[in-house]
Structure 1
Amino acid sequence: MSGQTRQTTSSFAALARLLKYARGYRRQIIAATTCSIINKLFDIAPEILIGVAIDVVVNQEQSFVAGLGFETAREQITILAILTFFIWAGESLFEYLFQILWRNLAQRLQSDLRQDAYEHAQRLDMSFFEARSSGQLVATMNDDVNQLERFLDGGANAMIQVLVTVVAVGAVFFVLSPLIALLAFTPIPLIIWGAFFFQRKAGPLYADVREKVGDLSSRLANNLGGIATIKSFTAERREAERLKASSEAYVEANRRAIRISSAFIPVIRMAILAGFLATFTVGGMMALEGSLNVGAYGVLVFLTQRLLWPLTGLAEVIDLFERAMASTRRILDLLAEPVYVHDQEGVPLAQPVRGDVRFEQVSFHYPASGAGIKGIDLQVPAGHTLALVGATGSGKSTLVKLLLRFYDPSQGRILIDGQPIQSLSLNSLRSAIGLVSQDVYLFEGSIRENLAYGKPDATDAEIVEAAKTAEAWSFIEALPDGLDTPVGERGIRLSGGQRQRLSLARALLKDPPILVLDEATSAVDNETEAAIQRSLKRIGHNRTVIMIAHRLSTIVDADTIAVVEAGQVVEAGTHQALLQQQGAYHAQWQVQTGQV
């Protein structure tokens, strides 16, 4: 959904979507709402008792309470004192209950929303992540969820209690004096109109605020992740200015929203003053004339403020409500993002997996760029090695993404051991494939935790064996803390070659029947490349290996080498056979070996 569409979506529609999502919390919502209502009824009651007490003092044996069977003024005052105690106790009890219920609901709902949003994001296709910044997603799952939590902590109760106040106090007014009730309620339409007017004005502004928060988060995440590049290009001042621009855009978006919300209270205060003066003067005249009981007049004066003054809180409540609904739209829009690569849960690869891989007339194009592959036919027998070579952007990595089902082909199919991968569960498919990519991602934690990522229950002996096979054990053993050495964020404490060897060891510990190396040696030194080559010769036996490489020297022993150009396989064969063809592979080989 576009930002403009999100802005025009009404806040009440967002609230309806939220209530639909929260239908599993119906009992908690009803219980919390009930406690809020009862608390507010108890809260209003003391003003009524004050009026009744005035009536007792003035009229004594002819008072309203006397008509209930309490003849003397002392009895009447005593019973009013007892009622006051129970009303205050009841108000305190239900305030405690509604705060417990609303706050626990807020905590539970925000936790579940964040968890559901994250789990749904994990199921989304790679195209979703390639089109959005991680900062926006973090802002949605963290800041937006927290914004909703703040509303549920206090705003929901405030909205309910304002409504209860209007209904309950209005009922008392119309019982005591319909005329004064009409005068007191005259400002309410203006207040309600003002509330909706400001809500309509503020809604798009707060949607813009949430967008600016995401932009700011994205800028911070990108800059902190690329701090080494910033330093190397001495771009600190430039990046500080860019961050300042994003921060100022957020401040400006908030300023526009604050200007609207801040105008609400002064306007409403004058409407309240009109209602209070009407009750005060007209009711006072009626009491002097004797057409209105003095105690009733006291009740009306006290309740007028109780009726109208809380409505000034609508400004803050609406402000909180608009912020929360803007956040809610972003959260629920994320949850509504469609998943195109559907998981066939419960359909596993036939065991044991041999690793025979076939691409049959496979075509795919990226929607944004139009780049991709067309009519790819390739077969990798179990235990064989396929090397894919070609220029950057020719479609080699696309084949790997399709094999892992990060995307689904638009035409053709991919089979493993004769089973179409689209008919398999994603867990079964990806468990059979080990990926070592050029862009190694290590999670913050120890070397042991990173190596065991694909096999959390691995023993130290298994971890050490995988590290030795990947020729990573020698440098791990030399570290002061060995396997317990922290790698830092994204493995920043290790060299590029060390990270690459750990990535290979991590894939080997998983022990997959199919190993995919996506330019795994393109960014390492000669020593690391030689080490990885030695490792591959050991681990390639009885395992299907698919390699993407720019350095042709690393794939000369492959069973099949496929040359990919413009999304199509133009040559395929062994190293010697391709050299004899004097084609595209031969030309690349001559360039890399310095023969031209």
Structure 2
Amino acid sequence: MSERDNRNTHQVRRGPMRGHGHGHGFGMPVQKAQNFKGTFKRLIGYLKPHRFRLTAVFLMAILSTVFTIIGPKLMGNATTKLFEGMMMKINKVPGAKVDFNYILHILLVLAGLYIFSSLFSYFQQYVMAGVAQKTVYNLRKEVNEKLARLPLKLYDSRTHGEVLSRVVNDMDNISNTLQQSLTQLITSIVTLVGVVVMMLTISPLMTLIIILTLPLSILATAGIAKKSQKYFMGQQKALGELNGHVEEMYTGHQIVKAFGREEKSISDFNTINERLYESGRKAQFISGIIMPLMAFINNIGYVLVSVVGGILVTKRAIKIGDIQAFIQYARQFSQPITQTAQIANIIQSTIASAERVFELLDEEEEVPETVNAKEIKLPKGDVTFENVVFGYKENETVIKGMSIDVKKGQTIAIVGPTGAGKTTLINLLMRFYEINEGKITIDGIDITELKRGNLRSMFGMVLQDTWLFNGTIKDNIAYGRENATEEQVVRAAKAARADHFIRTLPDGYETILNEEASNISQGQKQLLTIARAILADPAILILDEATSSVDTRTEVLIQQAMNELMKDRTSFVIAHRLSTIRDADLILVMNHGDVVEKGTHEELLNQGGFYADLYNSQFTHKGGNAEVI
């Protein structure tokens, strides 16, 4: 484990896994925001530039819903006219007939209303989709720009999954809600108000009957949802455990087989799977009772409405068509209430997602560059540390009063045990972290006075942990220099001793590396990162265990390429294998954040101190020649 990895295991905050779906189930646990009101206002602020289009969406939603609500009333009029005509015929009233022209006229009006309703609904969704996507586009852009301004310590103190969850899952949650749930909420509210108004115009008494069934529905739903929620929470917990177990067993498949732990793995899987089954079965069964129960309560309301309506018709208080219209409205009455309850849960989850995104946007950024920040156009590579003091946390100093003077072209090797501060020194040099005291200069200029882009462009890095992106080998090498030609890429690959293996691949330099670059070996990955650094042609090189992943023969070839690359360049080499740094101009021996010894390889061996102990722990001397134990 590298020094930085070791530090990360202590600093990373591993919070509980969070769900980011909408969770339409009644009993699903809803993630809630800590500051709902403040986050809601801030999110609405992102919609302000689109307020005119949002007003249009609101008006279209109202018109679309109103046209739909008027339909049952008109249909009832047609039914009444048909009933009256048939009754007059049955009673043999002279000249009795059904006024089909009137009915046809109503049907044509209804068709027009439904067409207009559909058109308004279409344009409402079209406009809202543009508003939602533009809003999230701007928010994503803001987050992406923020990520570029955040200091490295934030990424060191959080898991990659936590940051990615905010940038991807939470953002998608916001996008889906803005595009779908807001218009659904508007439609549901307008439908609810419109239906109640239409029912009241038909019969206040029957409206009262329907409304009285509402508290019964709410009580039944709330009771069942509360009971099912604990099972849903158990289901989510078991699902998280199962996913974690499967991922571990999949990624560590060879280790599981090597140690014969297949039966234990299967047993653990079955235990978790059984727990998931029980929780899921109970959660789905209990929450599944809600809809039949609501249907039962609603049917009681329909029966009462039918009985009371029949009585009112016999007393000629209302018309037969109004009974039909009222039953249709009664069926529509419960739907927007259910939708509104679901959307309320979705909005709560969305505000919680927005709160997490805003937390990221509010994170402390890197120390701003100084006004009129300087640039070094032609860096020489002189580096000086003057009484540098640094700690990742308050009251925990890692580097204590370090002073180093490195001249152009020198190779500086940094050695020491894990946690000694080797990688920390490099982080400070590239200004990934800000020092607490002292000063670091390049060519006599304090690095805090330089533009960060200019400072980092002076460095070329080859790290122990390789990083390659999904793309061609040529593109990965060319990442080291903007607008690099194919000839320059090939020359860099040859210098890194990578050209031969690249040409043996089916597509050569056009070979596509997958996301994990697992279609080439670890050693080949390292060769490509070295070629990338060679192509960058930096003034200062940083090599952090650059040859740790290659075989001994390749290491010798790379070392030759490195020696050529390091000519006339200032180089910082972090090494655990001391055989690779014997020829360094200066070796800094670090322990507990201090440079305890410095000098050449021979000088440090002759001192018989800390370096000599490190060296002798790796090598044994026979006949004056060092051989690896």
For the 8 Å contact 1:517–1:546, the answer to whether it is kept is yes
1:211 shift after superposition:
7.9
Q: Does 1:502 align with 2:528?
A: yes
Correspondent of 2:69 among 35, 38, 44: 44
Q: 1:455 aligns with which of 481, 502, 522?
A: 481
CA contact (8 A) 1:136 1:215 kept: no
Alignment partner of 1:185 out of 211, 229, 244: 211
In structure 2, the residue matched to 1:528 is 554
- Counterpart of 1:344 in structure 2 is 369
2:60 paired residue number:
35
- Code of the aligned partner of 2:60: C
CA deviations on 1:535-577 (whole Å, 9 max, x unpaired) are: 2221223322111112223223322211100111111223343
Of 484, 499, 502, the match for 1:473: 499
Q: CA deviation at 1:197?
A: 7.8
Tell me the CA shift for residue 458 of structure 1: 1.1
Question: How many Å separate the matches in 2 of 1:222 and 1:137?
Answer: 21
Is the contact between residue 31 and residue 349 of structure 2 (CA under 8 Å) also seen in structure 1?
A: no
Residue 543 of structure 2: which of 491, 503, 517 is its match?
Answer: 517
CA contact (8 A) 1:137 1:214 kept: no
Residue identity (%): 32
Does residue 302 (structure 1) correspond to residue 328 (structure 2)? The answer is yes
2:417 aligned with 1:391: yes
Shift of the 258–431 alpha-carbon distance from structure 1 to 2, 3 Å rule, reads farther
Q: Counterpart of 2:33?
A: 9
Q: Look up the equivalent residue of 2:579 and give its one-letter code.
A: S
Greater shift, 529-538 or 403-412, is seen at: 403-412
Equivalent position of 1:577 in the other structure: 603
CA distance in 2, matches of 1:133, 1:286: 68
Amino acid at match of 2:115: A
Q: In the superposition, relative to structure 1, how do residues 199 and 93 fare at CA in structure 2: closer, same or farther (>3 Å)?
A: farther
Q: Which moved more, 1:447-456 or 1:355-364?
A: 355-364
Contact 2:189 2:340 in 1 (8 A): no
Cα separation, partners in 2 of 1:37 and 1:225, compared to 1, 3 Å: farther
1:344·1:426 contact (CA, 8 Å) conserved in 2? yes
- Structure-1 separation of matches of 2:355 and 2:416: 41
Say whether 1:568 aligns with 2:594: yes
The alpha-carbon distance between structure 1 residues 313 and 217, as it changes in their structure 2 partners (threshold 3 A), is same
Shift of 1:444: 3.4
Residues 135 and 218, structure 1, Cα contact 8 Å, conserved in 2: no
Once the two structures are TM-superposed, the CA of residue 390 in structure 1 deviates from its matched residue by 0.7
Assess if the C-alpha contact under 8 Å between 2:78 and 2:106 holds in 1: yes
Q: CA 1:196–1:12 in structure 2 vs 1: closer, same or farther (change >3 Å)?
A: farther
Deviation string 1:148-178 (CA, Å, 9 cap, x unpaired) is 5555565444333221111112222333433
Which AA in structure 2 matches 1:38? L
Deviations 1:28-76 (A, max 9, x none): 544444433322212111101022334545679xxxxxxxxxxx96664
Structure 2 vs 1, CA of residues 176 and 590 (structure 1 numbering), >3 Å: closer, same or farther?
closer
State which of 90, 102, 109 in structure 2 corresponds to 1:83. 109
Aligned match of 1:64: none
1-structure distance, mates of 2:536, 2:481: 6
Q: Pairwise mapping of residues 59-138 of structure 1 onto structure 2 (< 5 A)?
A: 76-103=102-129, 120-121=146-147, 123-138=149-164
Aligned amino acid, residue 9 of structure 1: A
Match runs of 1:179-328 below 5 Å: 179-189=205-215, 191=217, 258=284, 261-313=287-339, 317=343, 328=353
- Secondary structure in 2 matching 1:537: helix
- Which of 215-224 and 179-188 deviates more? 215-224
- Maintained 8 Å contact 1:564/1:571: yes
Q: Please identify, of 466-475 and 542-551, the stretch whose mean Cα deviation from structure 2 is larger.
A: 466-475
Aligned to 2:386: 360
User: Whole-Å Cα distance in 1 between the matches of residues 226 and 354 of structure 2?
Assistant: 15
Measured at CA, do residues 332 and 189 of structure 1 come closer, stay the same or move farther in structure 2, by a change above 3 Å? farther
Matched, 1:335 2:354: no
Higher alpha-carbon deviation: 352-361 or 417-426? 417-426
Are residues 213 and 337 of structure 1, via their aligned partners in 2, closer, same or farther at CA, if it must alter by over 3 Å? farther
Q: Please, what is the CA RMSD of the aligned residues? A: 4.2
Which residue identity lines up with residue 78 of structure 2 in the other structure? A
Bigger mean CA offset, 29-38 vs 143-152: 143-152
Structure 1's 74 and 488: CA in aligned 2 closer, same or farther, altered over 3 A? closer
Amino acid paired to 2:502: I
Distance 1:172 1:350, change over 3 A: same
Change (3 A) 1:190 1:154: farther
1:68 counterpart residue number: none
Query: SS in structure 2 opposite 1:490?
Result: coil
Asked if the contact 1:141/1:331 (under 8 Å) is kept, the reply is: no
Q: 2:569 aligns with which of 543, 567, 571?
A: 543
Equivalents in 1 of 2:54, 2:234: separation in Å? 29
CA contact (8 A) 1:136 1:217 kept: no
Instruction: Supply the AA of the counterpart residue of 2:363.
Output: P
Report if the CA contact (8 A) 2:174-2:354 is conserved: no
- Mapped to 2, the partners of 1:216 and 1:107 lie a distance apart of 34
Residue type matched to 1:52 in 2?
N
Indicate yes or no: 2:373 matched with 1:373: no
Q: Indicate conservation of the 8 Å contact 2:189/2:336, yes or no.
A: no
Cα distance in 2 for residues equivalent to 1:282 and 1:574:
103
Secondary structure of the corresponding residue to residue 504 of structure 1: helix
1:275 Cα deviation after fit: 4.0
**Inter-partner Cα distance in structure 2 for 1:490 and 1:347:** 38
* Pair 57,521 (structure 1): closer, same or farther in 2 beyond 3 Å: closer
Name the SS for the 1:349 alignment partner. coil
Letter of the aligned partner of 1:461 in structure 2? E
Task: Spell out, residue by residue over 1:200-224, the C-alpha distance to the aligned partner (whole angstroms, 9 max, x if none).
Answer: 8889988898888777766666666
Deviation at 1:356, TM superposition (A): 2.6
- Aligned equivalents of 2:99 and 2:324: distance in 1? 18
Paired residue total:
584
Farther off after superposition, 263-272 or 230-239: 230-239
Q: Distance in 2 between matches of 1:250 and 1:333?
A: 34
